[in-house]
Amino acid sequence: MTNRTPIPQSIINDVNARTDLVDLVDQSGVKLVKSGREWMGLCPFHSERTPSFTVRPEKGFAHCFGCGAHETAIGYQMRVYGQTFIEAIKDLAWRAGVDLTDYVGRAEKPAHKPKPKIASRADEKDRETETNKRRLRGQALWKKGVAVEGTAAEEYLANYRGIDRGLFLQSPVHRFIPDYEFWYRARDAKKSEAIWTGPALLTVMQYIDDRFAACHITCIDLDQEKGRLKLTAPDDGRDLNTKRVMGDPSKAAMRLGKPAFVMVGGEGLETTYSGMMVSGHTGWCSYSLDNLVGACVMDAKGDRHPLDGRMRLPSVVPDMARPGMIWPRECRERIFLGDGDTKDMHMLKAKLERGSRRAHAEGCIGRVAMSAPGTDFNSMIRGAA
Ligand code: ZN
């Protein structure tokens, strides 16, 4: 091989821009459905049952909200077909009619048709086994936990978050582990490695029939102002989410309080406990906002974003077949908690509205309660303390 000029960024951009990303993803075997300005489907890079993989053709990338995959056309081609950068750009340039002669030799029709590796196409049985494995691992972790009294978890909830000890100290849903290992898999690494070991609050997530669903993990660092661990990815310096879930959390709840006629529901422990304290109601919580309110009908269009007419809000129409967290039967009035310091309040309100509508469709009352603008529920109670 002779030394060739490296491919300039402008050519790389050109190949990306001229590749129809929806087409590319579709041809690799991922079925996409249009939803507003984006397309959605099951992620090819991690195994899932509900779609969190989105393709944004006009932005030129695909993004997965489940595993964080974020790829341009060339990146997608590399990952899904296991190609090198040069192989991928050659194949795409050929299709898009971009001339790479000066950099990689004459464009030629790809000699072989590579086989895509699609995680979420694994058949139902494989997927079930995988979910089950994760659930068992979560259960093993949960079993290692000890009572939170006198641990960093008690200190975190009571002193750093201002949660009333009476609410959580005797609660069977929390445990503590002093040496949780935070595993991380770098972008190009074959294996994951433990990048942090330390104290964590464990919270059990249960299906509506009481069975163990998942273990929710909050990593604690009492040297931080809010007591939560801050961790950045060793390879690209991204902030990592130091709350994790091990198991099958999609329909499950963290049962922070006893079922009651009126209950609050929130995303995350701290918000929900704070909402319980502010309102005097009991509550359950979910591990994510999307799971708290459940999915929307996939092809339903959301309203135009009031601040940016080119954007659409998430649809408020619930897909009744994909409910997310199941509420207890005893609860006839669901109050969805929204933190007033959320970056995009309009997006948040649209999702909470979907939760409300789902409650109505199920014969319950659904309401939305927002904390004061610029504050979250937790700062309301910490301010009052
Ligand atoms: Zn994914």
Distance from the CA of 47 to the center of ligand 1, in angstroms?
7
Distance from the CA of 43 to the center of ligand 1, in angstroms?
5
Closest to 187 measured CA to CA, from 70, 88, 77, 51: 70
Distance from the CA of 239 to the center of ligand 1, in angstroms?
18
Q: Note the pLDDT of residue 321.
A: 85
Could you give the CA distance from residue 322 to residue 250 in angstroms, rounded to a whole number? 9
pLDDT surpasses 50 at 1: no
SS3 at position 94: helix
Distance from the CA of 7 to the center of ligand 1, in angstroms?
29
pTM: 0.69
Distance from the CA of 257 to the center of ligand 1, in angstroms?
32
Q: Note the pLDDT of residue 3.
A: 52
Distance from the CA of 322 to the center of ligand 1, in angstroms?
18
Could you give the CA distance from residue 324 to residue 49 in angstroms, rounded to a whole number? 12
Q: Which residue has the higher pLDDT, 274 or 381?
A: 274
Distance from the CA of 112 to the center of ligand 1, in angstroms?
27
Distance from the CA of 216 to the center of ligand 1, in angstroms?
19
Distance from the CA of 41 to the center of ligand 1, in angstroms?
10
Distance from the CA of 44 to the center of ligand 1, in angstroms?
7
Q: Where does the pLDDT of residue 309 fall: very low under 50, low under 70, confident under 90, or very high at 90 and above?
A: confident
Q: Which amino acid is at 250?
A: S
Distance from the CA of 83 to the center of ligand 1, in angstroms?
19
Distance from the CA of 223 to the center of ligand 1, in angstroms?
32
Distance from the CA of 358 to the center of ligand 1, in angstroms?
26
Do 243 and 297 contact (CB within 8 A), yes or no? no
Distance from the CA of 71 to the center of ligand 1, in angstroms?
11
Q: Note the pLDDT of residue 117.
A: 83
Distance from the CA of 362 to the center of ligand 1, in angstroms?
31
Distance from the CA of 102 to the center of ligand 1, in angstroms?
36
Distance from the CA of 63 to the center of ligand 1, in angstroms?
8
Could you give the CA distance from residue 193 to residue 95 in angstroms, rounded to a whole number? 38
Could you give the CA distance from residue 195 to residue 313 in angstroms, rounded to a whole number? 37
Distance from the CA of 42 to the center of ligand 1, in angstroms?
8
Residue 61 phi/psi, 5-degree rounding, is -145, 165
The sign of the CA dihedral 373, 306, 271, 359 is positive
- What's the gap between Cα 37 and its chain centre? 20
Distance from the CA of 323 to the center of ligand 1, in angstroms?
20
Distance from the CA of 70 to the center of ligand 1, in angstroms?
9
Burial of 109-138, coded b for 16+ CB within 10 Å and e otherwise, reads: eeeeeeebebbbbeeeeebeeebeebbeeb
Do 368 and 346 contact (CB within 8 A), yes or no? no
| CA count, 13 A, side-chain hemisphere, 286 | 26
Distance from the CA of 68 to the center of ligand 1, in angstroms?
6
Closest to 81 measured CA to CA, from 30, 13, 14, 11: 30
Do 375 and 337 contact (CB within 8 A), yes or no? no
Angle at which helix 73-81 crosses helix 85-96, to 10 degrees, equals 120
Do 354 and 324 contact (CB within 8 A), yes or no? no
Could you give the CA distance from residue 260 to residue 60 in angstroms, rounded to a whole number? 47
Q: Note the pLDDT of residue 204.
A: 98
Q: Which amino acid is at 189?
A: A
Distance from the CA of 79 to the center of ligand 1, in angstroms?
12
SS3 at position 121: helix
pLDDT surpasses 60 at 103: yes
Distance from the CA of 249 to the center of ligand 1, in angstroms?
16
* Two tokens, residue 149: 């009294």
Could you give the CA distance from residue 118 to residue 6 in angstroms, rounded to a whole number? 31
Closest to 43 measured CA to CA, from 28, 57, 58: 28
pLDDT tens, position by position, 211-258 = 999 999 999 999 999 999 999 998 888 899 999 999 999 899 999 999
Do 38 and 25 contact (CB within 8 A), yes or no? no
pLDDT tens, position by position, 145-199 = 999 999 999 999 999 999 999 999 989 999 999 999 999 988 777 888 999 999 9
Distance from the CA of 12 to the center of ligand 1, in angstroms?
24
Distance from the CA of 363 to the center of ligand 1, in angstroms?
34
Q: CA 85 → CA 2, 8, 385, distances in Å?
A: 18, 13, 56
Q: Where does the pLDDT of residue 322 fall: very low under 50, low under 70, confident under 90, or very high at 90 and above?
A: confident
Pairing of strands 193-206, 174-184: antiparallel
* 26-54: average pLDDT: 88
Distance from the CA of 117 to the center of ligand 1, in angstroms?
13
Alpha helix (H) residue ranges in the chain: 9-18, 21-27, 73-81, 85-96, 101-104, 124-144, 152-155, 165-168, 269-279, 289-293, 345-361, 377-384
Distance from the CA of 32 to the center of ligand 1, in angstroms?
14
Distance from the CA of 97 to the center of ligand 1, in angstroms?
30
Could you give the CA distance from residue 39 to residue 61 in angstroms, rounded to a whole number? 11
The sign of the CA dihedral 133, 136, 141, 144 is negative
SS3 at position 312: strand
- Measured between alpha carbons, how far apart are the two ends of the chain, in Å? 70
Could you give the CA distance from residue 66 to residue 188 in angstroms, rounded to a whole number? 18
